Amino acid sequence: MDEAPNRRQAQACLCEGMGEDPCMLVPIVRFLRSAARLDADAFAREHPDPVLVIEPFVGGGERTSFETLAPGPGGSSVGRSVAILRKREGANAFGMMVTLGRATNNDVQIPNPQVSKFHAYVMFDAEGRASLNDAGSTHGTFVAGRRLAPKTEKALLEDGVVVRLGPVKATYYSPAAFFAYLTSQ
């Protein structure tokens, strides 16, 4: 079976404008541009959802990374992408959670063969605090270096905490902390 149409479709989604499809990983350069032209309040209005800043990884036969046009000091943002933690309309039946995994019906799709089809999920409490839960993944979900017990344990996500979905490493940020991170690059 020819996978070229699926690959082209996925690449097209990666290049769409921010906010159009939250399931796709977005090049961090788009957020860097936004942070450069907006103040913190305007940035939070334009980008109201928390994010995971994902380190480059190899997935689906292609390298999944993006180069910034003008990396910050030390080039620290080069190759990173952003996953917007937002519920995607009609993606799946899990209305109270933002799902993460390899399958296309997740709210956030991470195309890495060691990420389970339905790997983990994020839930938000009444105050808007996010917690990460492992959905019974094969290669584990880690928060601050500690593996979460599958299906039974959740971890509160604080700004700047490092999480791992199998081998894929990411850092969690609220909109305000994400703006601060971007403007420090």
State the CATH number of the domain containing residue 112.
2.60.200.20
Domain hosting 159: range is 4-183
* 140-158 pLDDT tens trace: 999 999 999 999 999 999 9
Q: Is the dihedral of CA 10, 78, 82, 119 positive or negative?
A: positive
Residue 136: predicted pLDDT: 98
Contact call for residues 38 and 178 (beta carbons, < 8 A): no
What is the number of alpha carbons within 13 Å of residue 52 lying toward its C-beta? Answer: 31
Query: How does pLDDT run across 32-62, given as a tens digit for each residue?
Result: 999 999 999 999 999 999 999 999 987 654 4
| 36: alpha, beta or left? (left if phi > 0; alpha if psi -120 to 50) | alpha
Q: Is the pTM of this model over 0.75?
A: yes
The predicted structure's pLDDT at residue 70: 37
- Mean pLDDT is lowest, of 23-27, 80-84, 142-146, 153-157, for 23-27
Overall number of domains in the chain? 1
Task: Report the candidate in 84, 95, 101 with the shortest Cα–Cα distance to residue 174.
Answer: 84
Q: Per residue in 52-82, is it b (16+ CB within 10 Å) or e — as a string?
A: bbbebbebeeeebbbebeebeeeeebbbbbb
